[in-house]
Amino acid sequence: MPPFVYARIARRKADTHVRFDPAALARLTHVPEPVIGLEIHLAVKARSKMFCACDADGFGSDPNTNVCPVCMGLPGSLPVANREAIALGLRFARALGCEVPERTQFHRKHYFYPDAPKNYQISQFERPIGEHGAVPIPGGRTIGITRVHLEEDAGRLVHPTYADHSLLDLNRAGAPLIEMVTEPDLRTPEEARAFLQEVRAIARALGVSDASPEEGKMRADVNVSLRNPDGSFGTKVEVKNLNSFRSVEAALAFEIRRQERVLEDGFEVVQETRGWNEGGQKTVSQRSKEEAADYRYMPDPDIPAITIHDDQIAAIDAAMPELPAAKRARYAALEVHEDAASQIAYDVHTAGVFDAVTSAWNGPAQIVANWLLSEVAGHLHQDGRTLEEAIPDPDAFAPRLANLLDLVQDRTISSTVAKELLPEVIDGAQASELVESRGLARVADEGALGTVIDAVMAAHPDVVESAREQPKAINALLGRVMKETGGTADASVVRNLIEQRLQA
Ligand code: ADP
Ligand code: ZN
Ligand code: MG
């Protein structure tokens, strides 16, 4: 047997536990409101694991190479709490509006599972790093944060189809995680998704976590129930291990509908843990509450409690960067449309470039938003570069884009020409110099344009003929003139001149 092989894990037959209650059907006189609470795990962007010096992000290495006696749980090894991870956790807790206790502590949470080599996980229980927070979400509601705590991640099990045993990779075991738990304050699947987007943006703005579900750096368990007719909370069901925002939304929508049906049919919802079947787009029962684990929490005797001084908290608060919600509000005040404001505010680098350009340029912020989100983003997408790669220094780029936008605003160049110059401006060119050296300034001179128009009209008598009948066909002539002039012609002057000639 190879090392790290554990017994195969028995799969319990999935089974929905429902009890028939005829009275429940009679009570169901309204469509019950969903109540949702989330438990979110974020991979902490610290250099090392939570309690040892192994790489916090070394999952990609060969299996079981990013390990040491501590994270393998060998007897006699001693954990040491990661100062950087604690600092990041505290930062996150404060950003979520949490209170931080004077002393925080780590507990052992006992459970047996082959991916946990110690047979317990070091987590927090009483005195987590944050409690009683609140996060406002777009739309105006605020979601309560029950707690934020630090813990260690588990290893990874692989169940090869060719074998009757499972393989264990401990590269991720002991990696630092933040777990945050919300109050049951969310009401719809869409709102749950909006909340996750908010949390992801906050984590990224703070540099606390990459918070990318696709890399397993953000995972969520969702709890959902339907309110009883008297307004009290109904029995909740937990759906575990959702690893995309889309699946959170889909699992909640499915589960709400399933619970509605259970009630409509006169049954009761049974408290249980369910999983999400991505292929079938449905939740499936995993275990019911009767089998709920007793974790036998106890303070970890190897890790002393940590005192957090008031001046540490004050320093964290003082160094807090502007949060995405505040950015979004600031952009809305600059009259940037809601969608664009969110899109910019929720991406750290886009926000950095936007801030630099709006302070370098006096024109409307919405124009800057349009250029960044459509033209710049579109060009970089084609180029296969990220904004960060193309514009590593927003302060150097800002005056160059401001110069380009000035040329458009004062009508020196058409927006067609401006869009053509953009790639060079991104890569360091000054737009006014390009316009000068290439003769790209807009031509509004009627004499010069008239010559080009006459030539185009003489060359295309058929198009002229249809334009006399159908004013729309003028665009075909206009397009040819623009092409002849390399996009420099003033389109409204050209249109007037063509119309005059058609009427003559
Ligand atoms: P448990 O003891 O099962 O872990 P908790 O009270 O700790 O339950 O809550 C876990 C999560 O479930 C939290 O996010 C909480 O907001 C949510 N939750 C609690 N009660 C309900 C409910 N009735 N409906 C939906 N979510 C709930
Ligand atoms: Zn280690
Ligand atoms: Mg709980």
User: Using CB atoms within 10 A of its CB, is residue 11 exposed (0-12), middle (13-18) or buried (19+)?
Assistant: exposed
Question: Mean pLDDT for each consecutive 10-residue tract of the chain (504 residues)?
Answer: 33 40 57 93 98 91 95 95 97 98 96 92 96 94 98 94 92 97 97 97 96 95 94 94 95 94 90 92 82 84 96 96 95 96 95 97 96 96 94 96 95 90 95 89 87 93 90 90 88 91 85
pLDDT for 5 equals: 33
* Alpha helix positions (H), 241-384: 245-264, 310-318, 324-333, 338-345, 348-360, 365-370, 377-383
pLDDT for 439 equals: 83
In DSSP notation, 55-79 reads BTTGGGSSTT-S--TTTTT-TT---
Residue pair 172/154 in contact by the 8 Å Cβ criterion: yes
Domain assignment present for residue 434? The answer is yes
Examine the domain organization and report whether 485 and 405 are in the same domain.
no
Residue pair 489/482 in contact by the 8 Å Cβ criterion: yes
**Residue 183 CB less than 6 A away from ligand 1:** yes
What pTM was estimated for this model as a whole? 0.85
Give the tokens for residue 289. 């509450």
Examine the domain organization and report whether 357 and 487 are in the same domain.
no
**Residue 35 CB less than 6 A away from ligand 1:** yes
pLDDT for 49 equals: 98
Residue pair 388/376 in contact by the 8 Å Cβ criterion: no
**Residue 181 CB less than 6 A away from ligand 1:** yes
Domain that holds residue 157: 38-191+207-218+292-321
Examine the domain organization and report whether 342 and 316 are in the same domain.
no
CATH number at residue 496: 1.10.10
Examine the domain organization and report whether 379 and 492 are in the same domain.
no
Which residues hold their Cβ within 5 A of ligand 2, which is an ion? 52, 54, 68, 70-71
Q: Checking DSSP bridges between strand 5-6 and strand 298-299, what pairing results, if any?
A: unpaired
Q: In terms of residues, how long is the chain?
A: 504
pLDDT for 250 equals: 95
Phi and psi at residue 419, to the nearest 5°: -65, -35
Give the tokens for residue 303. 């890790």
Examine the domain organization and report whether 375 and 326 are in the same domain.
yes
Residue pair 50/122 in contact by the 8 Å Cβ criterion: yes
pLDDT for 438 equals: 86
In DSSP notation, 92-140 reads HHHHTT-B--SEE--EEEE---TT-TTSEEEE--SS-SEEEEEEE-TTS
Examine the domain organization and report whether 480 and 385 are in the same domain.
no
3-state secondary structure of 292: coil
Examine the domain organization and report whether 345 and 409 are in the same domain.
yes
Measured from the Cα of 292, ligand 1's closest atom is 3
Examine the domain organization and report whether 466 and 328 are in the same domain.
no
* Cα–Cα distance for residue pair 116/96, rounded to 1 Å: 30
Examine the domain organization and report whether 313 and 168 are in the same domain.
yes
Domain assignment present for residue 296? The answer is yes
**Residue 233 CB less than 6 A away from ligand 1:** yes
Ligand 1 pocket check: which of 147, 236, 239 to mutate, most ligand atoms within 8 Å of Cβ?
A: 236
